[in-house]
Structure formats: C-alpha cells, structure tokens
Amino acid sequence: MMRNLRAEYDLYSSYGDPMTTSAPVQLASVRLITDDIPRLVRFYEVLTGQTPQYLTEDFVELVTPSATVAVSGSARVAFITTNTPRGGANNSAIIEFLVDDTNAVYERLAAHFGDDLDVVQPPTMMPWGNLSALVRDPDGSLVNLYTPVTPEAWQLQRNRTPAPPQADL
C-alpha cells in the first residue's frame, strides 16, 4: 500500500503553525559521535578547509560559514541511557555540503586519503541539476558534496538558503 505523504504532512501540520514562533529555527551544528576523534576531525578538516577548535580534548568544532561540524567522543553522551549514540552507527542520515567545485573537493579528498577514501558515488550529474559526489567519512557516515550546475538547481539553492540572522544591537 502506498503512503499518502501529503495527508501525513497535513495531519502533522494540524498541530499548529510552525511559523508563529518569534524567530525561525536555524540549524546551528551537526555533532558526530566517534571512538576515534583525531581521525574523524582530520577528515572534516580536509573536507571543509576549516581549522578544528578543540573546546576540550573530546569535543571539537569545525565552524563553516553556514553551520558547525562538531565531533565528540562517546563519553560526552554516556548520560543517554536509551539508544545511546555510538560512533560508526549512523545509517539514516546524509551530511550534505554545498561546495564551489565538487570535482575539486572530491579530488582533494582522494589525494589526501587515497585508497582509504570510501567512494560511494564519484562526481555525477543528478537529474535535478546538481553535480554530486557521495563518500563515507571514516566512521561510515554518508557525506554528499554538491554544486548546483543548472539554472534550475541554482534557483532551488537560492530558495533554500536562509538569510543570516540579524543581531539585535
């Protein structure tokens, strides 16, 4: 039986208008739990070109222009006793990075990590107009590198990129 996703959306929408909050919710960071902090931090450092900021020895941030990639050890989430996050256990999310040049970033990763780079899909033109490469980070999380290529893909990107928040001065 086919799910009626529109009907499900309408049902969840009936809980109230999410746009009535005082300010829009913005994604600030994605945190990855790992058992090998240096290895995972190095991957995201090479990918993003950002310098890791070690807030503690087991909590690291790589701040990008749009959001932060945070990496921490499993001890940081040990207080979660049900379905405790575990390094290398992600099987349901893809971390997506908008990049200026998919081929260049892909080649940088390939040059740095060589045969250790787990390539799921080399740079490929997607039907919606993005050039996309899909790799796995050292813990197995899927990472998509994409560049809008067609005018339609660029328009989609412009439509989904929010304006930066305005600070109250």
* Helix or strand run (H / E) with residue 12: helix 5-13
**Residue range(s) defining the domain that contains residue 123:** 90-161
Q: Structure pTM?
A: 0.80
Distance (Å, rounded) from C-alpha 44 to C-alpha 9? 34
Residue 41 lies in a domain: yes
Q: What percent of the chain has pLDDT over 90?
A: 62
The whole-number pLDDT of residue 4 equals 67
CATH of the domain at 97: 3.10.180.10
Residue 32 lies in a domain: yes
Distance (Å, rounded) from C-alpha 99 to C-alpha 64? 11
